[in-house]
Amino acid sequence: MVTQEPAPLSVHDRYDDESVRRFHERGWWQGGSAGALLDRWADATPDRRFVSDGTVELTYAEVRARSGGLASALLHAGVDPGDRVAMQLPNWAEFVVGYLAVARLGAVLVPIMTVYRQSEVEHVLRDSGAVAAITTGEFRGFDHAEMFRTLRKEIPALGTLVVARGPVQEDELAFDEACAGATADLGPRPDPDLPHLIVYTSGTESTAKGCVHTWNTADFSARGLAVDVFEARPEDVVFMPSPIAHATGLVVGILVPMTVGAEVHLLDVWEPNEGLRRIERYGCTVSATATPFVRMALDAQREARRDLSSMRFWLCAGAPIPEALAVEFDQAFDGGVLMPLYGATEILAGTCCHPGDPLERRAGSDGSAALDGIEITLVGPDGEDVATGAEGEICYFGPGAVLGYWRDPVRTAAAIDSRGRHHTGDLGRLDEHGYLRVSGRLKDIIIRGGTNISAAEVEGHVGAHPAVAQVAVVPYPDVRLGEKACAVVVPVPGERPTLHGLTGFLRGRGISMQKLPEKLVLVEALPMTATGKVQKFRLRDLARES
């Protein structure tokens, strides 16, 4: 029996004809493609540096040549338009080349962050139906290529493996050799309204969801951020230490500089002193990270005393910006401006502050609608819009939203209402001027360094430990990362698990390091409501106090 490939999501599954017409008419969707944008700058400014990472530097012309060669190699290996190609690479120039190769071919990129391990990667590969993967060898003590080799034996659909900066085996492709090949006839440009990216997020549930973006939805956010928020120009150098395998890093680190023909400098391992050194050396001008990155950079700058005067704009996501942090940033970066952004993988840019917004706005809100075309509304428990100043669930309507969740119509239907709005699961308040302040969340997540971690997923792994009878995972505050995960455990009678033993057990289950609990609290029983639900608010208090 042959399993039929499901029809790809399209804009007509997501929006009515009038919305699609309006998006095009207003210029929010402009068509085109990533390859066409690359061609524009490779023709106009072939010798301008496009990407550097401290080891490799490539011009626009070199990126076009290398991505064309890699696309041809993938086509020869049997990757067709519409096929999914997974890529797990650090913030290296090879990621940019790989993304543009997949995009030119008309295949769908499935980026995977390097912190993910076998259990998470296997789910993404199986769920997406990836037919090829691009990865590296050993990075930070972990052999990614070997993990993919193991998974290829278990997943027959994964036919092609490309390895960058690492040894290859007989049936694999070496990244550099593939890029050096001649560019074949790659066919017509891909349809900008068909799937372009599937970015997996596991922020709210135990099974990661694949967020399907088209070129038009991704380009809308990138182009709007570049022009209206960053006010980007060709001489800019975007500093990107956030993973470009996820939404913020990919949009700001690749698409924003491509919009104006600028440059990006990538940092593969965040270390604040090294980050400051790169900003000074490469003359970086703009960036976007989670808020804790900024706190660590400012702490390091007290002793480093680098020349950071080139940095004029830093977009901050994942946590509110304290006023003292904004003031300190302005001083340390010689007049540079710290701006808040609220977004998600499903909607990319939701709200942000804009050039000209005063300090009290930047420190007291998460901004207004990020771009023309975005509508932010708040909904109460009854499904009705709430009054100004009242708390409600944040909903997004606009040209930057996902088409839906890959192969998951149930979750798609639950997230998108009859008015076409995407329900984020986050809570907030809007003031009379349309500025949002995120106030909480409906979702059970921990936001560690700007990355969402599903409490339910971690609970599932911890609960498998033989010494654990019951477990609840909750966040506790951390001055550098915002939040960390605390496991509150009811032990099996006669057992007394330790944090060291528990995390060792979890590493053996192949989950990423960032999901490991960093605090363990043992209790005799979990506090419950009358209906049998765990009272996590009490456990959060316990985690803070312990």
Domains and CATH numbers, the chain: 32-190 (3.40.50.980), 224-440 (3.40.50.12780), 453-545 (3.30.300.30)
CB atoms < 10 A from the CB of 42, how many?
22
Site of tokens 């990621």: 95
**How many other CB atoms are found less than 10 A from the CB of residue 83?**
22
What HEC string does 421-461 produce? CEEEEEEEEECCCCCEEEEEECCCEEEECCEEEEHHHHHHH
**Strand arrangement, sheet containing 468-478:** 468-478, 482-491, 519-522
pLDDT reported for residue 255: 98
**Which tokens hold the place of 112?**
């995977």
Q: Transcribe 318-358 into DSSP letters.
A: SS---HHHHHHHHHHTTT-EEEEEEEETTTEEEEE--TT--
Query: What pLDDT was estimated at residue 6?
Result: 63
Residue 87's H or E segment, with its range, is strand 84-88
Q: At what angle do helices 60-76 and 93-105 cross, to 10 degrees?
A: 60
CB distance 397 to 419 below 8 Å: yes
Q: Using CA of residue 226, residue 232, residue 235, residue 237, what is the dihedral sign?
A: negative
Calculate the alpha carbon distances from 123 to 50, 64, 329, 367 in Å: 33, 32, 40, 35
pLDDT score at 381: 84
pLDDT of 203 reads: 52
Cα separations (Å) of 317 from 203, 241, 288, 341, 475? 15, 13, 8, 5, 18
Helix (H, G, I), strand (E, B) or coil at 45: coil
Q: What are the phi and psi torsion angles at 364 (to 5°)?
A: -105, 0
Q: How far apart are CA 20 and CA 14, in angstroms?
A: 9
| pLDDT the model gives residue 460 | 81
Q: What gap in Å lies between CA 88 and CA 102, rounded to an integer? A: 13
List the Cα angle 381/382/383 in 5-degree steps: 90
Please give the average pLDDT of every successive group of 10 residues along the chain, which has 546 residues. 60 91 97 97 98 98 98 97 97 98 98 93 96 97 97 96 97 97 92 96 70 97 96 97 94 98 97 96 95 88 93 85 83 88 94 91 91 96 91 95 94 92 92 90 82 82 88 90 93 92 92 92 82 76 89
End-to-end CA distance of the chain: 56
Question: Phi and psi for 263 in degrees, rounded to 5?
Answer: -120, 155
CA–CA dist 65, 46 (Å, integer): 11
Cα–Cα distances (Å) from 202 to 130, 208, 342, 487, in that order, read 18, 4, 18, 18
Q: Tokens for 388?
A: 């100004």
pLDDT for 202: 61
Q: According to the model, what pLDDT value does residue 530 have? A: 53
- Residue 359: the pLDDT is 87
